[in-house]
Structure 1
Amino acid sequence: MKKTKKSNYVLFCVSIVFCLIVSLPGLANAAPIHAGPQFVDGYYADPDVQIYNGTYWVYPTRSTQVGESDTGAKSVDIFSSTDMVNWTKYSNVISSANISWLQHSLWAPSGAYRDGKYYIYFAANAINGDGQLGGIGVAVADNPQGPYTDAIGAPLINVVRNGAGPMDQDVFIDDDGQAYMYYGSWGECNVVKLNADMKSLGTWSDGTVYKKVTPTKTGDNDYFEAPKVFKRNGIYYLTYAAGVWADSSYKVMYATSSSVTGPFVTQGIMLHTDTTTADGPGHNGIVQSPTTNDWYIFYHKRYLSSSQRVLAFDKFEFNADNTIKPVEMVEEDTFDDSTDTGWTKYGGA
């Protein structure tokens, strides 16, 4: 049963579902298809998600709130959960206190793990050309919650190559153990090799460092930023944000390839604005549950009544031909979890 914020529809749905639960044995225990609305308090965007030892870790951009100093834009909070319902917040795991070259902005953190070390890759200082202080950095810790320290004391990537802005990075480790980092804004996407130390760049067989992997152009839904790569059935999937992040054109597209270096062929829209629910979903993370094998997309969105971005996630599925079924940004509930999450209260009830 889909939720809505309209009171007349809510009352109607509640009455119908109550009758169904009473009359149909087992319905109350049916597994929810969608995860629901905003899952942590506060204004956040650009979530990456990783699983370490059965615990989900979410790495978002921390949005500066009205009346708050600009220090909010120079720090990262992360969240953990074992059940995707109850989340623990760890504040300021990266900030100007432990990144000496951080000057005025920090965003799009993404996590990775290798050889007992936990890494957060991040974008900082919003540079627009070579020779400026900023770009993609990396911090390291002995535990996923930190404390994190600057791994190299400088940006890992601080140049513009193939037209790709050094930001919106995502680390993908392939089946053979080789780590890659996809990144890029301004309509172009690169991939680089990460060496075993996870804090230096390798070279390709042709001696180059940066390879352009921008998905095929399709028009209004062309790649803009925020690549995320995962692998399934031997296919490399690259999800990305298209449109403008500040309006309803923002959406998640996806492309596929048989190779880690592409070419990536655009397949279609994965998630987009729902004019009855929320606006501008995008800049996502992808994760597969280790217990159920279900796939989830974590993303930010804006409720129709607000310009602030919040975090949400939804389950998604594949067709028999390995294409992705478009995600509906709706909310569902089994009505047996003793919560009213996602429902608007009317008259206090």
Structure 2
Amino acid sequence: MKERSIRKPFILLFVVGIVLFSMMIGSGLLVPNASAATTGNPILPGNQADPSIKIFEGRYWIYPSGFDNNRFHAWSSTDLSHWVDEGVILDVGSQVSWADTRAWAPDMVYRNGKYYFYFAADVQIGVAVCDSPKGPCTDTGKPLVPAGLSGVESIDPMVFIDDDGQAYLYYGGSAGQGKMGIYRLNGDMVSLNGGQIVQTPLNFTEASWVHKRNGVYYLSYSNGCYCDSSYNVQYATSSSPLGPWTHRGTILSSNDVYKGPGHHAFLRYPGSDDWYIVYHRYENNDFSQRKVAIDRMFYGANGTIQPVTMTSQGVETRPLRTSLTTNVFQSIQVTTPGFTDNFIRHRDGLGVTTVMNASSPLLDKQDATFKIVPGLADAGCYSFESKNYPGHYLRHSSYRIHLDAPDGSRLFALDATFCAQRGLSGSGISFLSYNYPDRYIRHINGELWIASNSGLYSWDNPASYTPDVTWALVSPWAP
């Protein structure tokens, strides 16, 4: 009798718990496909489409079409999972003199200390100049590409900046009957350099996206009608950003659950060869709203892109930031095997790595000691203040690390701010440049640079890249 009296309340509580859990799922308070370890899909709420994804200032950013009364919004995240609506980045109706409606498919790039927001409105392509990834943005006052040149529909702009610094604008849509337009951009990013290039990639409909991997240029694009399950993503490759393009196959296509996946963007996690695809799709045979989703994408050994498996769980949560203790002095140790007796220090105004030990001169020990402070451009990241020269900070200029005093400019604050991540070697810390999101602080032949693993220089690609951008924070040489 006693055992039964215990079990009845337990069973009742269990049933009540199941009912409450089901009610919470139905109300949207819980997302059943998401967990602490995954993003879940979709990753943005409501009717969202045409996503461009980038990394700026230590955050992921998504820019979708402007379905909020032709107002474009910026969404940010530090981990791919928790997204914040940062508000309206550009209101076509009130901020653009040459267009009012059909605000579609934007893209954002960083250059010259500014952000450049490319967008389609009234079937023309414009560009606005922004102070930050979330604005404010100011339209240039006229279309960059007017409607219908050479029969190419002026929608879906995407900008790719090659390793040599040349920027290319790709665009084109379904009304262009398979035509894609390309322009070179001038260094100011708001004017065109040379004439229009018109191409007809096999099965091209709209939504160009260009990226580069291992010296190969990948052009991917949507095929079919955005309005139904025929929509899909295909791709081609070339040895040049201008083609000619060799068609390679399909990346995304409808299945029994998700229909019409397309208008995508690719993201490479900094310092790795891990790639993601962000795209929109219809779910549960509901063709009234498109949803933004994210999934992993993989390359074959021969460089081909494997067909993407669409999921409900999304991808692993991937933080861009790690928390450090601030306003304390520490020294920064090399972790590359065979060089762990080296530490970051400044010498004659330059960042270097040198051997440090107990018998090192006091001045060297002071030069190898830094106060880790909240980032000059973003308190969520970090800056490194010299112990020996208070008020002077490590910053990069032309990719080389210097020790300088602030000049009061926003650019200095950006160049002196680094976001901390778990070390790319799997332990320790890596420091990502705040305004060059594919470059980390790295030691090269005793010098300090910000470097990527896919850049112009011969030392960007060696196998030592991962340990060379991984550091250990240790007790200061000069407390």
Say whether the fold is shared (TM-score over 0.5).
yes
Tell me the distance in 2 between the aligned counterparts of 1:124 and 1:264: 28
Confirm whether residue 268 of structure 1 aligns to residue 249 of structure 2.
yes
1:153-198 per-residue CA deviation (whole Å, 9 max, x = no partner) reads 0100004234211111100000001110011113211110010110
Task: Count how many residue pairs are aligned between Structure 1 and Structure 2.
Answer: 278
| Structure 2 counterpart of 1:212 | 198
Name the CA shift for 1:316/1:97 in 2 (closer, same or farther; >3 Å): same
- % same residue: 42
Q: Tell me the TM-score normalised to structure 1 length.
A: 0.76
- CA displacement at 1:101 relative to structure 2: 1.9
Q: Distance in 2 between matches of 1:164 and 1:336?
A: 39
Moved more, 318-327 or 100-109: 100-109
Per-residue CA deviation, residues 250-308 of structure 1 (Å, 9 max, x unaligned), is 00101111111101111100001111x21101001111011543111110011124220
What amino acid is the match of 2:307? P
Query: C-alpha separation between the residues in 2 aligned to 1:76 and 1:159?
Result: 20
| Partner AA of 1:320 in structure 2 | A
Query: Aligned-pair distance for 1:329?
Result: 0.8
Aligned ranges 1:155-194 → 2 under 5 Å = 155-185=143-173, 186=176, 187-194=178-185
Correspondence for 1:301? 281
Q: Is the 8 A contact 2:50 2:264 kept in 1?
A: yes
- Report the residue type matching 1:214 in the other structure: T
Shift in Å at residue 124 of structure 1? Answer: 0.5
Aligned 8 A contact 2:264 2:279 in 1: yes
Is 1:245 the equivalent of 2:226?
Answer: yes
Spell out the pairing of 1:1-349 with structure 2 (5 A cutoff). Answer: 36-63=40-67, 72-95=68-91, 96-126=93-123, 135-150=124-139, 152-185=140-173, 186=176, 187-203=178-194, 209-215=195-201, 217=202, 222-275=203-256, 277-307=257-287, 308-332=289-313
AA in 1 matched with 2:191: S
Call closer, same or farther: CA 1:336–1:265 in 2, change over 3 Å: closer
**How far apart are the structure 1 equivalents of 2:117 and 2:151?**
24
Deviates most, 262-271 or 51-60: 51-60
Alignment partner of 1:44: what SS? coil
Aligned-residue offset at 1:52: 1.3
CA separation in 2, counterparts of 1:58 and 1:294? 18
Q: 1:162–1:188: 8 Å Cα contact kept in structure 2?
A: no
Tell me the residue number matched to 2:443: none
Q: 1:320 to 1:116 in 2, by over 3 A?
A: same
- The alignment yields a C-alpha RMSD, in angstroms, of 2.1
1:67 corresponds in structure 2 to: none
Question: Could you report, residue by residue, the CA deviation over 1:206-235 in whole angstroms, capped at 9, with x for unpaired residues?
Answer: xxx1112331x3xxxx11000000000111
Higher alpha-carbon Rg: 2
Distance 1:224 1:104 in 2: 22
Distance in 1 (CA, whole Å) between partners of 2:284 and 2:314 is 21
3-state DSSP of counterpart to 2:95: coil
* Residue 333 (structure 1) shift: 7.7
Q: What is the Cα deviation at residue 42 of structure 1? A: 1.5
Q: TM-score, normalised by structure 2?
A: 0.56
